[in-house]
A and B are shown apart, each in its own frame.
Chain A
């Protein structure tokens, strides 16, 4: 019974086959990848995907990645959260005005706690949503060919393309220390 369920889940996870066109290189050394990426970018390739078990700063530099947009979304979420927290306190006080001990209805200091916690809550949730949206998560199918070794100790470089251009990239990868190069056409 469990075996049958397992086989069914396996089928569901596999999903429909996706056809990729391009070249996938598997590397071990980080500096090989850095040099290859620099060379590829020099030749005009911009759509390069580097997949690795840990982030490598040298590779990030070679790819010329700019800062992430996540920070702006997080900032807006935090701002919205603080505004919502304070607004809720003020609104509730005026919707049922109840003077306690002759004090002002809108006493700001206690509302700071609500505003502050709401700022952190919405900031964190916006941070999460922005990260997931920009990193295209969750995803059922990887946008490029994937290998289980990329979560172990190998680095994958994927360059989309076909024809003689793809063959040139394949040769370039071989010349830059790739352990394996696969042409997807």
Chain B
């Protein structure tokens, strides 16, 4: 590997220091090891308190799910014509959350945005746990959840194959590929850091645990050479994947002729929305971690501001898409399309539409102001609003279009969220958070090796 302009690890300053990385001169390679691995310690009462609360919510969700399996999908309250309701809303929401990790780790890697180095591990973990949560919902939503393997193309006696022309089958391929690739990318990125943790482990059991994740890594020149070439290709493969997956998810809707769904804008609109909600979730996860573990020198306010700018940027795309949808409905030939958009903003579910619009378009406008972007408390609350808004975006798309189809006789509004659906939704957040809480305690949550690369490499010439 050479230090050419194409080298994603090339640094910009003449002394070898990366101005977009960790800028505190007091930070050394040694202190970075200690600070990053500080998270892997015996959890305190705060962690246990949150974890137990999380498991309690998860248990409530699981009881609701058990109830649904025993009594049938009818307890979820899905009624004609709103048969997708909140479960598909949750699926799209969690797939969207999962998108930010690959954006930060792969897309920003290819774009040489070096600020990603401090935050990408948490974003990647969020991706993996987000897809694990999203993947549950198509199964939860099945009438017979014990047959999910029917979705996969496997050789069987009757030569039955899934319908490869169906967007739902495309989704199976896209989401499982995304889950596999993002998990591999996450674990490969962890190898050098797990080696650093292994070499500092205090017990043999901890050492064995980190040996598994480091695979016996030593950091030899041969290993680094193949590792970084592979990393570059992972990024190059994950980048088109991240755009394709949410495009495919959007086609679950856009390929149908339901008013409000049948639109060519859906793919870019969904991708921007996914990145928007994902970055907001990363900010929501990082702010408490950097505060609780005093890591403001590793994830600096500048890094957080750059993430906030990403939220602002994607918010403008999402806002533009909302307005374009309305414009196309007004300008286009379909009266059904005009009707559904008017109904969305003024009908039975107008409250959901205006929550969505306020949280996703109006509130993020405050990010144009630098003090807002750099105030962590304000940024945290703002990103919570964004996540609420993005959940409602999927709810508005799915529920309003299904509740107001072509046939006026079906416009009788009989859908309201059931307790089962609400408990499963809460349980999905608890499921996601459970993995995250465990992850930050058992594996390196920050990329030690990549953050080290932003420091000035020690040189005798400079020291003399």
Q: Is the CB of B225 within 8 A of A51?
A: no
Q: Is the CB of B160 within 8 A of A96?
A: yes
Q: Is the CB of A53 within 8 A of B196?
A: yes
Q: Is the CB of B233 within 8 A of A28?
A: no
A8 to chain B, nearest CB (A): 8
From 100 to 118 in chain B, residues with beta carbon under 8 angstroms from any chain A beta carbon are none
Q: Is the CB of B164 within 8 A of A142?
A: no
Q: Which of A13, A67, A92 contacts B161 (CB 8 A)?
A: A92
Q: Is the CB of B237 within 8 A of A123?
A: yes
Q: Is the CB of B188 within 8 A of A121?
A: no
Which residues on the A side are within 8 Å of B208 (C-beta)? 9, 12-13
From 52 to 76 in chain A, residues with beta carbon under 8 angstroms from any chain B beta carbon are 52-57, 59-61, 63, 65, 67-68, 70-71, 74
From 193 to 224 in chain B, residues with beta carbon under 8 angstroms from any chain A beta carbon are 195-196, 198-200, 203-205, 207-208, 211, 215-224
Known contacts being A13-B204, A152-B29, is A140 close to B181, with CB within 8 Å?
no
Q: Is the CB of A130 within 8 A of B230?
A: yes
Q: Is the CB of A140 within 8 A of B226?
A: no
Q: Is the CB of A135 within 8 A of B460?
A: no
Complex: A74 Cα to B238 Cα, angstroms: 13
Which residues on the A side are within 8 Å of B3 (C-beta)? 57, 61
Contacts A28-B458, A60-B2, A131-B226 aside, 17 further interface pairs with beta carbons under 8 A come to A10-B207, A30-B457, A49-B221, A56-B457, A57-B1, A78-B237, A92-B161, A96-B160, A114-B170, A117-B174, A118-B173, A124-B185, A138-B216, A142-B216, A144-B220, A151-B195, A151-B199
Complex: A180 Cα to B286 Cα, angstroms: 40
Complex: A12 Cα to B159 Cα, angstroms: 49
Chain A contact residues, majority secondary structure: helix
Chain B contact residues, majority secondary structure: helix
Q: What string of 1s and 0s marks CB contacts (under 8 Å) between A99-139 and chain B?
A: 01000000100110110111011011101101110111111
Closest 10 interchain pairs by CB?
Answer: A10-B204, A131-B230, A92-B161, A138-B215, A153-B29, A68-B229, A148-B199, A139-B216, A55-B224, A151-B196
Q: Is the CB of B223 within 8 A of A137?
A: yes
- Which has the most chain A C-beta neighbours within 10 Å: B29, B166, B233? B233
Q: Is the CB of B173 within 8 A of A67?
A: no
Complex: A113 Cα to B247 Cα, angstroms: 10
Q: Is the CB of A29 within 8 A of B196?
A: no
Tell me the A residues contacting B by CB distance below 8 Å. 2, 5-10, 12-13, 28-32, 49-57, 59-61, 63, 65, 67-68, 70-71, 74, 78, 85, 88-89, 92-93, 95-96, 100, 107, 110-111, 113-114, 116-118, 120-121, 123-125, 127-128, 130-132, 134-144, 146, 148, 150-153, 177
From 23 to 45 in chain B, residues with beta carbon under 8 angstroms from any chain A beta carbon are 28-30, 33
Interface membership of B180, Cβ < 8 A: yes
Q: Is the CB of A110 within 8 A of B170?
A: yes
Chain A: CB-nearest residue to B208: A9
Which residues on the A side are within 8 Å of B226 (C-beta)? 68, 70, 130-131, 134-135
A98 to chain B, nearest CB (A): 9
Complex: A141 Cα to B223 Cα, angstroms: 14
**17 A-B residue contacts at CB 8 Å?**
A52-B221, A53-B452, A55-B453, A60-B2, A65-B221, A67-B229, A88-B164, A93-B164, A95-B159, A100-B165, A120-B240, A124-B181, A124-B185, A127-B237, A137-B216, A143-B220, A151-B195
Q: Is the CB of B159 within 8 A of A96?
A: yes
Q: Is the CB of A152 within 8 A of B199?
A: yes
